[in-house]
Copies of this chain bind each other. A is one copy, B any other.
């Protein structure tokens, strides 16, 4: 028997099962610098330690998405190595900032299972949670993945289909305990707009584009110790429908979010990711663009320094936002994503308010 495993197949999962993911990872300022180099990220709390200090943080926290990708990367070997498709994620909540020196580890619990009618695969739902070295929860999320069966003959489990929340409601939105934005000045970011300035339904077309090369996405994905093979093995992927390595969806999110800085300069932190669709594949050579729509604007109870914005971040490949009115188009009576849309992300951020004394 070959000692090199091949991950879990559909019949290896059982309801309530807990998987402790291997290879905890100590993070450092290096990860933040690499993240900046890989994405061009400029959000202020992750860029400047004195600003983080002034806003109540003990150190500059890692970019929320960097922390998420690191935590998510831990789960791949056990959950999605045999994925037919990553179907979705929801209820991603950023419970606590991650700082240089922290060590992240992750575990997942199976919360749903449903075999596909063809008997060749099934859908697995897991709730994953990452903790730091003090066993404090830093992130939690639900994802669901279609996974191959190893043995078609194995009986189907009793189907249990969870219903992830459509979005993280205000009541469940985590706000970093330390965050105090009373002293915030827009000069820190160069962007003049604060929470009050964003109107429901408003759309922001981010002007910059970023072309992805093979080394960009493979460096990023390796940094996260995410070992999903379709990102790395060009020989394997030459035989796939894509013909080449697929860019990790998390890198697409990160690049689009970095592009979204222009027009959303004063976002301080991501509080939640409500859900996301990777509408079409992203491949090296693609140039990404992005636009944002404001879905909701929430006051936060007891806070006059920050508010929350629920945003829709749409990522495009090889098409500028000005060229696309609507990401979903009707073709032959069917509504589906425009072929140049690669990302449709629903997430919630925190932004300083105008202080009204």
| A residues lining the B interface (CB < 8 Å) | 2-6, 20-26, 28-34, 36-40, 42, 44, 47-51, 60, 77-78, 101, 103, 105, 133, 187-191, 193, 197-198, 202, 204-211, 213-216, 218-220, 222-223, 225, 227, 229, 232-236, 245, 262-265, 285, 287, 318
A2 interface neighbour in B34, B211, B232, B263, Cβ under 8 Å: B263
Question: Contact: A233 with B23, CB < 8 Å?
Answer: no
Could you say which residues of chain B place their CB within 8 Å of the CB of A30? Answer: 28-34
Question: Contact: B219 with A232, CB < 8 Å?
Answer: no
* Complex Cα spacing A28 to B32, Å: 10
Question: Contact: B29 with A48, CB < 8 Å?
Answer: no
A34 interface neighbour in B37, B133, B227, B318, Cβ under 8 Å: B37
What residue of chain B has the Cβ atom nearest to residue A6's Cβ? B207
* Complex Cα spacing A214 to B198, Å: 36
A189 interface neighbour in B22, B31, B205, B262, Cβ under 8 Å: B22
Could you say which residues of chain B place their CB within 8 Å of the CB of A5? Answer: 191, 262-263
Question: Contact: A26 with B2, CB < 8 Å?
Answer: no
* Complex Cα spacing A263 to B222, Å: 18
In this complex, the member of A37, A189, A206, A234 whose beta carbon has the largest number of chain B beta carbons within 10 angstroms is A37
Question: Contact: B204 with A3, CB < 8 Å?
Answer: yes
With contacts A78-B190, A207-B229, A211-B233 known, what are 19 further pairs, Cβ within 8 A? A4-B262, A4-B263, A5-B263, A23-B190, A24-B188, A26-B49, A26-B50, A29-B30, A33-B34, A36-B223, A50-B103, A209-B229, A209-B232, A209-B233, A209-B235, A213-B214, A213-B215, A214-B215, A215-B216
* Complex Cα spacing A236 to B320, Å: 10
Could you say which residues of chain B place their CB within 8 Å of the CB of A285? Answer: 234
Chain B nearest Cβ from A118, distance in angstroms: 25
16 A-B pairs, CB-CB below 8 angstroms?
Answer: A3-B198, A3-B263, A4-B263, A5-B191, A5-B262, A22-B42, A23-B48, A24-B50, A28-B30, A34-B34, A50-B103, A208-B233, A213-B213, A215-B216, A234-B287, A235-B287
Could you say which residues of chain B place their CB within 8 Å of the CB of A40? Answer: 222, 225, 227, 232
Question: Contact: B60 with A26, CB < 8 Å?
Answer: yes
Question: Contact: B34 with A48, CB < 8 Å?
Answer: no
A47 interface neighbour in B23, B32, B78, Cβ under 8 Å: B23
What residue of chain B has the Cβ atom nearest to residue A22's Cβ? B190
Question: Contact: A232 with B218, CB < 8 Å?
Answer: no
Chain B nearest Cβ from A26, distance in angstroms: 4
Could you say which residues of chain B place their CB within 8 Å of the CB of A21? Answer: 190
Question: Contact: B103 with A49, CB < 8 Å?
Answer: yes
* Complex Cα spacing A234 to B197, Å: 33
Chain B nearest Cβ from A357, distance in angstroms: 23
Known A34-B34, A37-B222, A262-B5: A47·B28 in contact at CB below 8 Å: no
A205 interface neighbour in B2, B218, B265, Cβ under 8 Å: B2
Could you say which residues of chain B place their CB within 8 Å of the CB of A50? Answer: 24, 26, 103, 133
In this complex, the member of A40, A77, A204, A214 whose beta carbon has the largest number of chain B beta carbons within 10 angstroms is A40
In this complex, the member of A44, A218, A223, A235 whose beta carbon has the largest number of chain B beta carbons within 10 angstroms is A235
Question: Contact: B34 with A225, CB < 8 Å?
Answer: no
